[in-house]
Structure 1
């Protein structure tokens, strides 16, 4: 092998790991690791204990809207202001650290309520949710800067640090002590890994930058978080309903089915992350949305077909024979995940346009899910109710989104 050919291969390898394709692979690895943790937890803990862990993980997703709102805000601001990246980085990170401290304090105060609402064995796991909120929020600002600058390698490392340490550390904790408290202790410890990686990637770029006012960043983050909170409330409220209207065993079965739902939901997450900067630019937002919808829909159809034809294989990943009662409903949970993945893409399209009207539709759907879900008494009744509400919302948001994209844009003065 000649020196020139070796150098060429190194250049190709370097280009590959810095590409969006490598980011997509890393995000998929992270999603596999994340839901690998839930599969392992379902097997180690059983339906009784796992229901509490699933409800806390769902709550953590809802709490994470501040992280995602900050990430979307940072990404959009960096995309729209080329040449000012370092100042934006410093401003966003200042706002991020303050938001992390405030959110952690709020969750700490709310921990007794979380303990009672989720019917946990003790207040200890609820306190750990508050601990998780701090590094999770910090990661959001860091990831948003990297996403807006399309620094895919750095962003890929952050996402790998989010998923892989969680499944390793939390599995070890549950192996030592199979309780919901041990599971959340492992999750809390692993949650610091992506924040540390994000700091390391950005450590040299922000040190000499002059920060701007953080108020506009915070205001935009709060508007974005309001829409994202509506989405995550809608995609996680059903497990909270199940914990309160179904028996412990039935709610554990429902939580097992949601493992498949969340896997299908986050399978195309890389599409949203890569497409968001393009959806933030007026010239490319329509084509980016159309291509993303086609890819997300195609992946969802494959997941639905797989869960129908290979339900026995899906049961292996959900939790085995203890969850056999829901095998016939797995394809429904896969449809729910597909609908939610399309809804997630539409929500980010709204954030990219800085539109606010669609956020209220999400909260109307949350209210409908609570009202109609509260009168259900079976697993299949609850999942069909939630699926119907989500499908109607997707149809409405698709209509509103394309109506607005087709409107002629006013001329800037």
Structure 2
């Protein structure tokens, strides 16, 4: 089935093929999603505060590099698969179609990506261990194992998002964060980076398994559709959507996690310390990003359902509303960073984690632009305009790297202002793209 056929115009969809029961999300599912999203953010803070305070800024720099590298690679490799699954399944479900061919094609693609990425990481074991983790091989092992676990986790997320089972998605997010903190509790007594590494890796695996412990037989029914012959969904169709989505994911991670990694790669006598402080500061101001991961999971399938049903005005209203709410939240975080940012850094992370209030505020402003860009990006993906969305994010990533290299001042100052300017650029370009396709 070609992309054009799979995403036929809303006018061509018979009214009887649409599924009114999917218009509303179950209140229990919505509550579980909200709790899981909030808990995921709180537990991420708890883990990083525990690791930073027990390990100190120098050793925490390596753990922070594992955290950033893990999620950069997981998002780059597997979130495009999640989004491909989520969008294609929700489109088929809204039209009354059979989504099983979508699942099979995405599963084959996920298996190939997982095998290739594991082989590459094993081949680069030495350079990764020495260049990124300061010779700590246990951090490299955690990266390999955890990345494989997130391959399964993101595949499960795509299934749950596609059928709009947001309760299961919330349980996955909660389990991911809770397992990480529980495994890391021995850090209170033993300041070992190996414990922190094990916590990060095991969280990926445990989070993927958690939703399977719940009874959700109706999920398979929704994926299978209402009978009839299933239309094929070639692997090429999945790749055509996943490829630009991978560009988007990679550029997002360059912006939100790339600064500390650039500092580590550049090296220098204080690289580990500077990177550790940057990881901590990024965590301090990125609370809205943790909230957004849950919103994003529900936003794409919901917007796709609106698009499939021809409700473009509703799609536009939902996009603008979410963007305004998240931007407003980020503005409050920026004001707080300007007022008490340095104090909050010392209270949360302890001695040695020092950052200027203006730099923290610039980083928080960038979070607002980042979230606005992410929201408008979901609208473009729902409309099948992944390529147009990728262009905006690519421009922002290039601007971020160039500014980080060219701006004067300390590493923290360069990363903060580069992130703020590039993220606002991403937001403006994404908003303009949505406006042109409205």
User: Which bin holds the TM-score, normalised by the shorter protein?
Assistant: 0.7 to 0.9
Residue of structure 2 in register with 1:7 after alignment: none
Match of 1:381 among 407, 411, 414: 414
Residue of structure 2 in register with 1:301 after alignment: 331
Residue of structure 1 in register with 2:196 after alignment: 183
Residue of structure 1 in register with 2:168 after alignment: 154
Cα 1:43–1:75 shift into 2, 3 Å: same
Between 313-322 and 40-49, the greater mean CA deviation after superposition: 313-322
Offset of 1:129 from its aligned partner?
0.5
Please give the alpha-carbon distance, in whole angstroms, between the structure 2 residues aligned to 1:200 and 1:328: 46
1:101 aligns with 2:115: yes
Please give the alpha-carbon distance, in whole angstroms, between the structure 2 residues aligned to 1:143 and 1:332: 32
Please give the alpha-carbon distance, in whole angstroms, between the structure 1 residues aligned to 2:167 and 2:288: 24
Residue of structure 1 in register with 2:205 after alignment: 192
Residue of structure 1 in register with 2:369 after alignment: 339
Residue of structure 2 in register with 1:35 after alignment: 45
Between 83-92 and 392-401, the greater mean CA deviation after superposition: 83-92
Residue of structure 1 in register with 2:390 after alignment: 359
Cα 1:227–1:329 shift into 2, 3 Å: closer
Structure 1 residues 52-80: Cα deviation after superposition (integer angstroms, max 9, x where no partner): 21122111121112221111111111111
Q: Map 1:394-405; keep pairs closer than 5 Å.
A: 394-405=427-438
Cα 1:112–1:342 shift into 2, 3 Å: farther
| TM-score between both structures, scaled by the size of structure 1 | 0.84
1:216 aligns with 2:246: no
Structure 1, unmatched stretches of 5+, are: 1-13, 406-413
For the aligned residue pairs, the C-alpha RMSD in angstroms reads 2.8
Residue of structure 2 in register with 1:78 after alignment: 89
Cα 1:312–1:294 shift into 2, 3 Å: same
Please give the alpha-carbon distance, in whole angstroms, between the structure 1 residues aligned to 2:378 and 2:89: 16
Please give the alpha-carbon distance, in whole angstroms, between the structure 1 residues aligned to 2:141 and 2:258: 21
Offset of 1:168 from its aligned partner?
1.6
Partners of 1:171 and 1:186 within 8 A in 2: no
Partners of 1:234 and 1:366 within 8 A in 2: yes
Cα 1:325–1:194 shift into 2, 3 Å: closer
Between 145-154 and 253-262, the greater mean CA deviation after superposition: 253-262
How many residues of Structure 1 are paired with residues of Structure 2 in the alignment? 390
Structure 1 residues 87-120: Cα deviation after superposition (integer angstroms, max 9, x where no partner): 5445434443443333223322233332243252
1:370 aligns with 2:381: no
Residue of structure 1 in register with 2:274 after alignment: 250
| TM-score between both structures, scaled by the size of structure 2 | 0.80
Cα 1:324–1:151 shift into 2, 3 Å: same
Offset of 1:169 from its aligned partner?
0.9
1:139 aligns with 2:153: yes
Structure 1 residues 177-221: Cα deviation after superposition (integer angstroms, max 9, x where no partner): 423333112211222112212444588665997896544324432
Partners of 2:281 and 2:355 within 8 A in 1: no
Please give the alpha-carbon distance, in whole angstroms, between the structure 2 residues aligned to 1:214 and 1:175: 48
